[in-house]
Structure 1
Amino acid sequence: MLSSTIPAPPRLPYRVTPLTEELAAALCEWRYEPPYTFYQWLSWADMQAQEREFGDPTIRRGQYAAVLDADDTFIGFAQFFPLAGVTRLGLGLRPDLCGRGVGLGFVQAIVQEAIRRAPDNEIDLEVHTWNERAIAVYERAGFVVSDRYELPLASGVQSILCMVYYNRLS
């Protein structure tokens, strides 16, 4: 006898979910190798005390998300920062996964979520010009350089590229 059940669709490699307090605390423990140490967060206690970024529950719920793999393992985060007609992405991959070939699917999952959240918005991101590894992944994901500028940061003036997702260009 033939079964009439329809098989479940295959699990996608990455999915975007809310960034819970537990995952936010774990994110603060991630440590990157130089020169990527710039991307490390303060301790979870400091993030909460200062209500900084995802340490503020309202900002965390409205702008931040976790990215999980097919085994529901926390592999990265995304920020969907709303600007007028633009969704600016901030994203970070767990340090032990950087340079291991998971970046493209990770970025694609985040882009799809940005489109779902605001389908009419342009999508862009900022990246340091020295971060060639990230730039290469963003280009493979469909981003193009739209601008280059100097940005004053606490660590000094940094050279930044603004990259726009080409499918969202008008």
Structure 2
Amino acid sequence: MISSPLTFYVVPMEPLHAAEICEWSYSPPYNIYGWMSWEQMQALGVEFGDPELRQEQYVSVVNGQGDLCGFAQLFPMEGVVRLGVGMRPDLCGHGMGHLFMTAIVQAARARYPEREIDLEVLTWNQRAIRAYQKCGFTITDTYERRTPTGNKPFYCMVYEE
């Protein structure tokens, strides 16, 4: 049984955190959220493997003991900051998602106070959708988007204070 941390904190993503995230392994059907190896990400300079992009857009989410619990990408768009999030696999499904998301939303609001906050989620991922809704997100649109395994249906969810 995993005890719920009282608070999550958002901090700059360090290379050590990035390397740890690349080792996470999710059970199906969530295994589609895995990353390539840290060495590959660095060699290709993609996502948080690019030091500049990591500094500008990625943050780590830690608990009060400083343990890595997840990450977020705060992707700036015109008038919007789009969130991409990932929680450490062993913490998923234990009712902490809304606390995790609240910390990320606070960080996004601090960095981009004038922008709307949204995210995209696969329509089948009801576990994540429930956590997002509990945090204050509402489904505003449904569409198909290309993924590595073909077009899939997504919801766009917008944060409402």
- Asked whether the two chains share a fold, i.e. TM above 0.5, the reply is yes
Match of 1:97 in 2: 91
Q: What residue number does 2:104 align with?
A: 110
Counterparts of residues 2-21 of structure 1 (less than 5 Å): 13-21=7-15
Opposite residue 15 of structure 1, the aligned amino acid is Y
Say which is worse superposed, 12-21 or 107-116, in terms of deviation: 12-21
State the number of aligned residues: 157
| Pairing 1:33–2:64 present | no
**What CA deviation, in whole Å up to 9, does each residue of 1:34-87 have, x standing for no partner?**
000010000000101111100000000000000000111100000000001100
Aligned to 2:136: 142
Q: Give the match for residue 154 of structure 2.
A: 160
Secondary structure in 1 aligned to 2:118? Answer: strand
> Aligned match of 1:78 in 72, 95, 116?
72
2:121 to 119, 127, 132: 127
Which stretches in structure 1 are left out of the alignment for 5+ residues? 1-10
CA RMSD of aligned residues (A): 1.1
Percent sequence identity is: 50
The Cα of 1:12 is off from its aligned counterpart by 6.2
TM-score of the two chains, using structure 1 as the length reference? 0.90
Structure 1: how far apart are the matches of 2:61 and 2:146? 29
Structure 1 residue runs of 4 or more that deviate by more than 2 Å after TM superposition? none
* CA deviations over 1:124-163 (Å, ceiling 9, x no partner): 0000000000000000000001110000122111100000
